[in-house]
Amino acid sequence: MKILFAASEAAPFFKSGGLGDVLEALPAELAKNKEDEITVILPLYKKIKGNTALALSFVTSFSMPSPLSEDYVGVFRLKWGKVNYLFIDNEYYFCRDGAPYGHGDDGARFVFFSHAILECLQHIGYYPDIIHLNDWQTAAVPVLLKAFYGALPAYERIRIVFTIHNIEYQGYMPYDFAANVMGLPCEYHDVMRYGDSVNLMKSAIMLADRVTTVSRTYAQELKYAYFSHGLDPIIKQNEYKLCGIVNGINTALYDPKRDKALPAPFSSTDMSGKAICKASLQEELGLPVRDDVPLIAMISRLVSHKGLELVECVLDDILSRDVQLVVLGTGDGKYEDMFRFAEYTHPDKMKAEIRFDSALASRIYAASDLFLMPSKSEPCGLSQLIAMRYGSIPIVRETGGLYDTVPALNTETLSGRGFTFQAFNAHHMLDAIDRAIAFFHDKKKCERHRRALVRYNSSWRASAEEYLTIYKSLLA
Ligand code: ADP
């Protein structure tokens, strides 16, 4: 099978969160099958184009008609491991300073990207069996395929899988966007419309052959208004083609035995390096070097749905315990300032690292005893999987992928994986933190459980098989 993944980010080229991790690891896992040819297509952001260490080679260029003019499209390629990467170049849209997302014209930028994906296929003579789309940034592909390429035999056979990584971001645009920016004939305007706007994600859910999301529980939750950000009627209408497949992590990359960012390696058979990692991080961040204090970590985008209201509510209570709290993240100014202020008032207990830093993230996962992730909603969540891989015990709210991957720990039998709470309530979270702190002090059990977490198999293999089954069923 020829499978083309399309997305707005993929590590190691560019990553802002879990989507980037998934688009690195899932294609690589699928590419292990000799009979499948895996390609990933991405925008050529300034950061990637300017990276001289990447041996990108130019493939072709062409101009693509758009409602307003003609757009230049350049195509570059790179082989990375067993995966082929294609990059769509247009300096106006993608060679910008600052973050790759969050520009006022993101809608137009990603519609251009979606259109260029389809147009480039005939220029490079490559027609995939499956195009696997990810989130709103590539959600325009199904309608553009139908409207502009449906009559071409080579395109007619292509099947579309659309994965919802986070339904919070849907690609809402003004109603005239369908005609003026996408150039769609009026018979396609209805499928684009949701309420008074164009909604790109809604159109992809309607038109894709299969829709997946990143955990079984999130697939159920999406049918309820509380989780769906307005799309529950569309989800229910398309339930017959929706399923949840839990994300994995790249266990070769996230491996405390091989991770070059760590001051000392460790594994489930020899955990001694973990204590060195903890002391080293405490020293690096200027915290008291103590092995008898639980080090709690958060590595997260600092946005509301990660449960930061709960942390805000009881931050002083958490810091009144004998703990150390290390937060690595960027996001809403309100939460960045909240953690900076807590660091100012509790310099011996709290460190706020307000930046994106993958090597520091590794050091924090490895050093931490407990990992706090109290999300309001969590499609899958990778941070809790990485934390477990580095022997850090998760404290999570029972939602979405957190519910699927972190069953409640029974501290007697040591079945389960972490400390959980159900209601979105700050004192329930505090209770889970207190239970986790008490467990930390039960040295023997805590050590045994940590080893079990490092051993736990969170690799992509089983989920990659589930995707393969879907692809095959679409081509049968
Ligand atoms: P989401 O995709 O919603 O942001 P996930 O838990 O699925 O959340 O994935 C987050 C990924 O981004 C993890 O790999 C995590 O380690 C990484 N990450 C988040 N914030 C930072 C940061 N400030 N610095 C480095 N890595 C980060």
- pLDDT-derived band at 37 (thresholds 50, 70, 90) equals very high
Residue 107: the pLDDT is: 97
Alpha helices in 346-425 (DSSP H): 358-367, 383-389, 400-405
Residue 363: the pLDDT is: 98
Tell me: pLDDT of 2 over 90: yes
Output the residue whose Cα is nearest ligand 1's atom 22: 356
Tell me: pLDDT of 100 over 90: no
* Sequence-ordered list of residues with C-beta below 8 angstroms from that of 29, at least 6 positions apart, any chain: 248, 250, 459, 460, 461, 464
Q: Is 391 exposed, middle or buried (0-12, 13-18, 19+ CB in 10 A)?
A: buried
Output the residue whose Cα is nearest ligand 1's atom 17: 17
Residue 102: the pLDDT is: 87
Check pocket membership of 301 for ligand 1, CB cut-off 6 A.
Answer: yes
CB of 310 closer than 8 Å to CB of 425: yes
Tell me: pLDDT of 68 over 80: no
Mean pLDDT throughout 4-29?
96
Mean pLDDT throughout 210-214?
98
Residue 33: the pLDDT is: 94
Type and span of the H or E element at 132: strand 130-134
* Partners of residue 399 on adjacent β-strands: none
Q: What percent of the chain has pLDDT over 90?
A: 97
Tell me: pLDDT of 99 over 90: no
How far apart are the C-alpha atoms of 182 and 361, rounded to whole Å?
39
Cβ density class 280-317: b for 16+ within 10 Å, e for less:
bbbeebebeeeeebbbbbbbbbbeebbbbebbbeebee
What are 311-332's pLDDT values in tens digits? 999 999 999 999 999 999 999 9
What is the reported pTM? 0.94
Type and span of the H or E element at 159: strand 159-164
How far apart are the C-alpha atoms of 270 and 448, rounded to whole Å?
12
Tell me: pLDDT of 87 over 90: yes
Tell me: pLDDT of 217 over 80: yes
**Phi and psi angles of residue 84, each rounded to the nearest 5 degrees, phi first:** -90, 135
Tell me: pLDDT of 386 over 90: yes
Residue 97: the pLDDT is: 87
Output the residue whose Cα is nearest ligand 1's atom 24: 356
Residue 94: the pLDDT is: 96
Residue 291: the pLDDT is: 97
Residue 98: the pLDDT is: 79
Hey, CA dihedral for 371, 372, 378, 383, is it positive or negative? negative
Check pocket membership of 361 for ligand 1, CB cut-off 6 A.
Answer: yes
Output the residue whose Cα is nearest ligand 1's atom 20: 300
Residue 466 structure tokens: 């589930």
Check pocket membership of 297 for ligand 1, CB cut-off 6 A.
Answer: no
Output the residue whose Cα is nearest ligand 1's atom 16: 383
Output the residue whose Cα is nearest ligand 1's atom 12: 17
- pLDDT-derived band at 265 (thresholds 50, 70, 90) equals very high
Mean pLDDT throughout 399-428?
98
Residue 307: the pLDDT is: 98
Residue 21: the pLDDT is: 96
Report the separation in Å between the CA atom of 386 and the middle of ligand 1, taken as the mean of its atom positions.
Answer: 10
Mean pLDDT throughout 382-387?
98
Check pocket membership of 12 for ligand 1, CB cut-off 6 A.
Answer: no
What DSSP line would sit under 16-76, residue for residue?
A: SSHHHHHHHHHHHHHTTSTT-EEEEEEE--HHHHT-TTS--EEEEEEEEE-SSSEEEEEEE
Tell me: pLDDT of 345 over 80: yes
Tell me: pLDDT of 66 over 90: no
How far apart are the C-alpha atoms of 1 and 461, rounded to whole Å?
18
Residue 216: the pLDDT is: 98
What are 144-198's pLDDT values in tens digits? 999 999 999 999 999 999 999 999 999 999 999 999 999 999 999 999 999 999 9
Which ligand 1 atom minimizes the distance to the CA of 383? 6
Coil, strand, or helix at residue 302? strand
CB of 241 closer than 8 Å to CB of 222: no
